[in-house]
Structure 1
Amino acid sequence: MSLLERLNQDMKQAMRAKDKETLSVIRMVKASLQNEAIKLGKDELAEQEELTVLSRELKQRKDSLHEFKEAGRDDLVLKLEDELKILQVYMPKQLSEEEVESIVVETIQEVSATSKKDMGKVMGALMPKVKGKADGALVNQLVQKHLS
């Protein structure tokens, strides 16, 4: 089942259950997916492109969450935390830190990286492998740790 089909199904359930929060998040994600498809000039997005859009939505909310926490906006923090929980349902299972670290070490060996100068080369080869399955900040941190 594609992500769009799953979203449509969950949207119907949310409507029946009168779950406004879930319904709102699903509608925002669907709109983002449709906008991306229009931008790319396609009728339907590939799974990887859908994952990119979902990751972008998650990142935007995480960034906003950080800003709202700093500003002391607890009302908005709670709302965003709920939205993040709903979005996480549609993301692939996240890799553990150990799994990410093993992929990082493997990729460093593949590209024969030896110093921090090779960071771009490593990240370029690594990110497609962990896209949507690991936090980019964690990946970056682990790469720096192994290249120093």
Structure 2
Amino acid sequence: MSLFDQINTDLTTAMKAREKERTAALRNIKKVLIEAKTASSSHDLEDTEVIKIIQKLAKQGTDSANLYKEQGREDLAAEELVQVAVFEAYLPKKLTNEELTTAVKAIIESAGATSIKEMGKVMGLASSQLAGKADGKDIADMVKALLS
């Protein structure tokens, strides 16, 4: 079952269980996925594309929650964080700092990089291999630390 189909099934289940917040979050995901489907030339979305879209939604929700907190709107921040929790349930498990360090070291060795000048080459490999498992900023910081 594809991730898109899983989201549809979970949406139906949440609607039957009358889970208001979960239903709203899943509808939001489905809306964005349908928009992406119609915008692309192929009519099927791969799971990797779905994951990227959900990651983007989760990041936007987290940013919105932070803005709401800064403005003293804890009620709106809580709503956003509930949706982000639903989004994150469909994302792959994030790497711990130790796992990220090990993965980046292996990528640096396979690329044969020895200096910070080769960061671009390492980042290209790391970004593709660790997509969805770690944030790009965290990957970049780790590469910088290991190459300097």
Q: TM-score scaled to structure 1, two decimals?
A: 0.91
Moved over 6 A (4+): none
Alpha-carbon distance in structure 1 between the residues aligned to 2:121 and 2:59: 23
Answer yes or no: is the 8 Å Cα contact 2:25–2:87 preserved in 1.
yes
Alpha-carbon distance in structure 1 between the residues aligned to 2:110 and 2:60: 32
Shift of 1:49: 1.1
Per the alignment, residue 72 of structure 2 pairs with 72
Matched residue type, 2:53: V
Please, which runs of 5 or more residues in structure 1 have no aligned partner?
none
Q: How does 1:61-140 map to 2 (within 5 A)?
A: 61-140=61-140
Alpha-carbon distance in structure 1 between the residues aligned to 2:71 and 2:28: 25
Per the alignment, residue 18 of structure 1 pairs with 18
Deviates more, 1:101-110 or 1:130-139: 130-139
Percent of residue pairs identical: 34
Alpha-carbon distance in structure 1 between the residues aligned to 2:44 and 2:71: 39
Per the alignment, residue 59 of structure 1 pairs with 59
Shift of 1:20: 1.5
Residues 1-39 of structure 1 show CA distances to partners (whole Å, capped at 9, x for unaligned) of 211111111111111111121111111111111212222
Per the alignment, residue 143 of structure 1 pairs with 143
Alpha-carbon distance in structure 2 between the residues aligned to 1:124 and 1:68: 34
Per the alignment, residue 50 of structure 2 pairs with 50
Deviates more, 1:6-15 or 1:133-142: 133-142
Matched residue type, 2:44: E
Alpha-carbon distance in structure 1 between the residues aligned to 2:116 and 2:77: 36
Shift of 1:41: 1.5
Matched residue type, 2:13: Q
Alpha-carbon distance in structure 2 between the residues aligned to 1:140 and 1:63: 20
Answer yes or no: is the 8 Å Cα contact 2:55–2:87 preserved in 1.
no
Report the aligned-residue RMSD.
Answer: 1.5
Answer yes or no: is the 8 Å Cα contact 2:113–2:122 preserved in 1.
yes
Q: TM-score scaled to structure 2, two decimals?
A: 0.91
Per the alignment, residue 39 of structure 2 pairs with 39
Matched residue type, 1:146: L
